[in-house]
Chain A
Amino acid sequence: MAGILIFSEKTKLALELASAASELSAVNPGEIHALCINDPQEAEELSARGLAVYSLESPGLSTADTAGTAAALLALANKLGVDTILLSSDRRGKELAGRVAEAWEAGCLTDVKGFSVQDGQVVFVRNALGGATVATQIIKTDRKLIAFTPRAFAPLEGGGGSILPFELEITAPSVKVLEVRSKAGDVVDIQGAERLVIVGQGVENQADLSFVEQLAKALGAEIACSKPVASDKKWLSEERIVGLSGKICKPEAAIILGVSGQVQFTVGIREAQVIFSINNDENAYMNKISDYILVADLKDALPELAKALA
């Protein structure tokens, strides 16, 4: 009997993968196993939620060494005889995915946001053409590797798992970690926010961000932005970028201030429940995917709106 092996060094993402695995195993029955590398605490947490955990503790192995991590995953997958590996589609997981898939001769999809079962076949859903389209795809190989986007599944709730040690002969990693720096400060979670106020380049003066803050406060919203506002202007942190190279957000409400609506942006917000947009261009593409549109100059409209809601 085949089965599923999951791995993410982030406990929360591993629990999301566990949920995905249990949904998948309804179609493709088999046991669900998890790998933890040098992280006994993650192993405890995953087993507490009901997973059969293999805990690999080897000071010689570092998850920064993709080849080494891939080798460990492969060794466990082959030992267990699973036919499916699930990884998180964060940067670490995506880098690992291609390496494992190639070595394991597995068909592989990354950035997968969900799946359905059609005629007994599992059909995966992911964005394509830079977000312009949504593709449905199947994996045709016997072995399958899928990397699911964070938050695509709710974390598994359960109990009564187990932890077994997993021993492995490690070859010395060729990638050496000299230093790890945590990214400074901004720990905002725009994906978790129910409401977002999103700043685009149509907010022309940095000083007007104070109105944005007032607005966000009044609405109980988090502040997010389009990519150029963070990457080029550096007004806000990159943590706050909505879109293809930022975060995919599904808030209840999004108030969008001066964003033109290029597809790389809209892919990150088009699943919002209600979208309000202010733009001085009545033909802005953003308007076509908005529910309420105010055509106005933000230099006037922003202070007015902030005041009206205060």
Chain B
Amino acid sequence: MNIVVAMKQIPDLQQIRIRNRQPVLDDVPLTFGNIDKNALEAAVQLKEAAGGQVIVVCAGTQELEDTVKEALAAGADEARLVVCDPALESSQSARLIAAAVQQIGAVDLILFGEGSGDNYSSQVSSRVAQILGLPQVGYANNIQVEGSSLRVTRSLEDCEEILEVPLPAVVSVTADINEARIPSVTQILKAGRKPKETWDIGQLGIALPAPGVETISNLAPETERKQVMVKTVADLVKALETEGFGGRG
């Protein structure tokens, strides 16, 4: 089974600092979103069970060459990188990923995270499914291969749907589908030697659509909190009462 995993390169969110309400991204290392790592882990587990290839596809900056080693160390066999202007809008990312999948050719399953770490819009997987005309299941917390179809559990807010989906298909996973493995030192060393191919947009033979959305501002919310340090539990109880939140018995 040939599985493509779409992984988005994002700044390490834990390391973003805020200055004058502006996010400071200089010197913040690039990595993959955690849920994208769960998608990769799901692919590697399916491959271990059923054989095949796991190919990581990313659209992002030149630094992808470096970032993608993390995915190759964690079990991907190959990588396809689409290098372009980093500020991609969902419709553009989807177009590039779909074109990369078409270049790869015989793909049975395309896995995504339920949302990218930074944008978390959950649009890209559904857009790719539409472009390629494939059936899709979002928010999967379990995937089993059964012959030429999948049995997937979609986890909604109030229920789970157990679904049968013919291959090829698009599936997005939730964070609780698995625990992503942490690669060993030897796997990290070997990762550098795994096959990687880098494409620019021209090589994919498509034109990037105009972005449908424009960001006007992107600022940290103003937090005006009192930040009063109280010394004892009794003082905390007093503060609760002062604010009108005493016990209701």
Instruction: Give the B-binding residues of A (Cβ under 8 A).
Output: 64-67, 70, 90-92, 94-99, 101-103, 106-111, 123, 127-130, 132-141, 174-183, 195, 218-220, 231, 238, 244-245, 252-253, 255, 262-264, 270, 274-276, 278, 282, 287-296, 301, 304-305, 308-310
Return the contact of B227 from the options A128, A130, A174, A291 (Cβ within 8 A).
A291
Contact assessment for B223 and A133 in the assembled complex, using a CB-CB cutoff below 8 Å: no
Selected interface stretch from B64-72, B115-123, B191-199: B115-123
Contact assessment for B237 and A132 in the assembled complex, using a CB-CB cutoff below 8 Å: no
For residue B126, CB closer than 8 A to chain A, the reply is yes
Contact assessment for B162 and A181 in the assembled complex, using a CB-CB cutoff below 8 Å: yes
Query: A87 → chain B, closest Cβ, in Å?
Result: 11
For residue B215, CB closer than 8 A to chain A, the reply is yes
Chain B interface main SS type: mixed
Q: A102-B131, A219-B245 are in contact. Are A130 and B120 (CB under 8 A)?
A: yes
27 contacts between A and B (CB under 8 A): A64-B163, A66-B129, A66-B135, A66-B138, A94-B122, A99-B129, A103-B130, A132-B18, A132-B220, A134-B219, A135-B215, A141-B212, A174-B165, A177-B162, A180-B162, A182-B159, A220-B248, A253-B243, A287-B227, A288-B225, A291-B228, A291-B243, A292-B239, A294-B235, A304-B233, A308-B237, A310-B247
For residue B183, CB closer than 8 A to chain A, the reply is no
* Bound-state Cα–Cα, A205 to B123, Å: 40
Contact assessment for A292 and B228 in the assembled complex, using a CB-CB cutoff below 8 Å: yes
* Bound-state Cα–Cα, A139 to B172, Å: 25
Return the contact of B136 from the options A95, A110, A290 (Cβ within 8 A).
A95
Contact assessment for B218 and A140 in the assembled complex, using a CB-CB cutoff below 8 Å: no
Contact assessment for B165 and A175 in the assembled complex, using a CB-CB cutoff below 8 Å: yes
Task: Enumerate chain A residues within 8 angstroms of B245, measured Cβ to Cβ.
Answer: 195, 219, 252-253, 274
Question: Interface size class for chain B?
Answer: 35 or more
Contact assessment for A133 and B233 in the assembled complex, using a CB-CB cutoff below 8 Å: no
Return the contact of A294 from the options B119, B127, B236 (Cβ within 8 A).
B236
Query: B67 → chain A, closest Cβ, in Å?
Result: 17
For residue B178, CB closer than 8 A to chain A, the reply is no
Closest residue of B by beta carbon distance from A296 = B233
Contact assessment for A98 and B227 in the assembled complex, using a CB-CB cutoff below 8 Å: no
For residue B156, CB closer than 8 A to chain A, the reply is yes
Contact assessment for B130 and A174 in the assembled complex, using a CB-CB cutoff below 8 Å: no
Closest residue of A by beta carbon distance from B241 = A309
Contact assessment for B218 and A135 in the assembled complex, using a CB-CB cutoff below 8 Å: yes
Q: A132-B23, A174-B165, A178-B151 are in contact. Are A309 and B247 (CB under 8 A)?
A: yes
Query: A248 → chain B, closest Cβ, in Å?
Result: 12
Task: Enumerate chain A residues within 8 angstroms of B122, measured Cβ to Cβ.
Answer: 94-95, 97-98, 110
Contact assessment for B233 and A177 in the assembled complex, using a CB-CB cutoff below 8 Å: no
Contact assessment for A276 and B126 in the assembled complex, using a CB-CB cutoff below 8 Å: no
Query: B138 → chain A, closest Cβ, in Å?
Result: 4
Contact assessment for A178 and B162 in the assembled complex, using a CB-CB cutoff below 8 Å: yes
Return the contact of A182 from the options B158, B172, B228, B243 (Cβ within 8 A).
B158
Give 18 new A-B contacts, CB below 8 A, not counting A135-B218, A136-B217.
A67-B130, A94-B123, A97-B122, A98-B127, A99-B130, A102-B126, A106-B212, A110-B123, A123-B216, A128-B119, A130-B117, A132-B23, A133-B219, A133-B221, A136-B215, A177-B161, A180-B162, A291-B228
* Bound-state Cα–Cα, A109 to B216, Å: 14
* Bound-state Cα–Cα, A288 to B230, Å: 14
For residue B154, CB closer than 8 A to chain A, the reply is yes
* Bound-state Cα–Cα, A141 to B213, Å: 8
Task: Enumerate chain A residues within 8 angstroms of B151, measured Cβ to Cβ.
Answer: 178
For residue B164, CB closer than 8 A to chain A, the reply is yes
Task: Enumerate chain A residues within 8 angstroms of B23, measured Cβ to Cβ.
Answer: 129, 132-133
* Bound-state Cα–Cα, A38 to B131, Å: 27
For residue B211, CB closer than 8 A to chain A, the reply is yes
* Bound-state Cα–Cα, A101 to B129, Å: 12
Contact assessment for B218 and A133 in the assembled complex, using a CB-CB cutoff below 8 Å: yes
Contact assessment for B233 and A308 in the assembled complex, using a CB-CB cutoff below 8 Å: yes
Task: Enumerate chain B residues within 8 angstroms of A238, measured Cβ to Cβ.
Answer: 176
For residue B249, CB closer than 8 A to chain A, the reply is yes
Query: A73 → chain B, closest Cβ, in Å?
Result: 12
For residue B137, CB closer than 8 A to chain A, the reply is yes
Contact assessment for A263 and B13 in the assembled complex, using a CB-CB cutoff below 8 Å: yes
Contact assessment for B212 and A139 in the assembled complex, using a CB-CB cutoff below 8 Å: yes
Contact assessment for A66 and B91 in the assembled complex, using a CB-CB cutoff below 8 Å: no
For residue B85, CB closer than 8 A to chain A, the reply is no
